[in-house]
Amino acid sequence: MKSFYVTTAIDYVNGSPHLGHAYEKVLTDVMARFRRQLGDSVHFLTGVDEHGQKVQASAKQRGIPPQQFCDEVSQEFRALLPKLDISNDDFIRTTDERHKRVVRAVLQQLFDMGEIYKAEYRGFYSTRQEQFLQEKDRNPDGSWPELFGEVTEIVESNYFFKLKQYQPWLVEFYEKHENFIFPAFRQKQVVEFLKEPLNDLCISRPRERLEWGIPLPFDEGYVTYVWFDALLNYYSAVADKPGIWPATWHVIGKDILVPPHAVYWPIMLHAAGLPLPQGIVAHGWWLQRGAKMSKSTGNALNPLDLVAEFGADAFRYFLIREMNVGQDSDFTREQFLVRYNSELANNLGNLVNRTLNMTTRFAAGNVPDADAAAEDELEKNLRALWSRTRDEFIPLCEGFQFHTALERAMVFLTETNAYIEKRAPWKLGKSVEAKDQALLRTALATMAEALRLAVALIQHVTPASSAKINAVLGYTPGAVWRDELNWDGRLAGRKVEGALVLFPRPAPTEKTPAAKA
């Protein structure tokens, strides 16, 4: 089997999970489930970043040890995963001994190679971003961008990694690997960034200023800079698992692409003699009416509120259907409900209940065999649409165009419901003519098969609902997913349940728009 190792960024434990965290987990889970369906050997890593000045300050403010603070907050992130039906294989914490051991080994290796040196630093420091700043980071008017928070000028001795000597290598790497970063325009931004000279990277903090970190193996008076620590988690989690590294894809938010993941990280790996991954997927931000969500502005959404109200599958579906991977997208409750009502309740849910109801009503609950002689253009057109949908769907998902793939699946579901309207099984059921009864059996078989196939397409996005639909169809999918996409009438003779309510429609209110037609 082909190895597919995929990770999320590790979440900083200085606050509770928000919508951005939830989206990244769901997106990566969809990628992992899709690759499992294709038969790959998947390893899916997520976790938390627990060191640094902000964590130390937050713990001090609460009057508890940093480790206790991390234990509490990291549990919030861990608890989010099953609620979103995330199928991760591992969860790493940067306070894990397995991680500390690898970080210290890499630091010692680079120090022994002469790639790390000690020098005095004089300059500006952002506590919020936990990074040193340069004059070029200022706004044109001389002020510091808001994202840096309070900026102070400091002078102190620290250890530095010889980052700038690798700049020519990194520029050449991006020239040779034009598709390393998805989407492509993000890589162009990185290339533009690299047109400016890099400085060596400060990789330590003196312990009198920061206690909460991994001590440098060659000088216990210093701890490791949080980014040099955190970026090694992708490797440290699998360092003792042969055949997994190098990774396939790393899924991160666009705000931590440059410089951490697109500059520091590849250089660190290269300097340590570790092979680089296949690439990075940098997703966009969720906005609310054009503005970035944040706690400070009071427009942040708690993802678990919607999950509790509508279920994990509806939430997962909206995130993947709404956002074009790599672009920003708006998230409003109103738009969520439009998709929920029109696509999940009125389209998929409606087809489920029509299929179960009519099979129970007209065939004693047993899916009949289709009568090939009774088929006409309606059945042939639907089968032709299925062939086009299936053939387009897989390449779209392989190219991370999950939103378009779901749109294709919804078109197929819409046309299946339109087929039912045109074929009108409820009318055929009233006829005693043999040809009408043959057409009725064919219609019921066609409905059931179209539903089975649509579910096979979207099961990596809506796993729980897909399992429920297969169960009420009396069907257990086979081990080879591609074989599940063949229209072959394999449900014939299956006993179906009478009904299944998957996506109950919320009662309309002033804040609940009616579903789109």
Domains of the chain with bracketed CATH: 3-283 (3.40.50.620), 333-485 (1.10.730.10)
Arithmetic mean of pLDDT, 114-143:
88
The pLDDT assigned to 297 comes to 62
Q: Please say whether the beta carbons of 338 and 317 come within 8 A.
A: no
* pLDDT surpassing 50 at residue 14: yes
Arithmetic mean of pLDDT, 485-510:
89
Which of 256, 269, 220 is closest to 115 using CA atoms?
269
pTM of this structure: 0.93
The pLDDT assigned to 16 comes to 87
Arithmetic mean of pLDDT, 78-89:
97
State percent of the chain over pLDDT 70: 96
More confident residue, 239 or 153: 239
β-bridge partners, 122: 155
335-364 pLDDT tens trace: 999 999 999 999 999 999 999 999 999 999
* pLDDT surpassing 80 at residue 303: no
* pLDDT surpassing 60 at residue 510: no
**pLDDT-based confidence at residue 514 (cuts at 50, 70, 90):** very low
Q: Where are the beta strands (DSSP E) in 30-115?
A: 41-49, 90-93
Q: Please say whether the beta carbons of 500 and 352 come within 8 A.
A: yes
Is the four-CA dihedral 174, 180, 181, 186 of positive or negative sign? Answer: positive
**pLDDT-based confidence at residue 213 (cuts at 50, 70, 90):** very high
Q: How far out from the chain centre does Cα 33 lie?
A: 11
Tell me the H-state helices in 424-462. Answer: 425-428, 434-458
Rounded to whole angstroms, how far apart are CA atoms 408 and 396? 10
Token couple for 470: 């297969």
* pLDDT surpassing 90 at residue 383: yes
Q: Where are the beta strands (DSSP E) in 88-187?
A: 90-93, 116-126, 131-133, 151-161, 181-182
Arithmetic mean of pLDDT, 480-493:
97
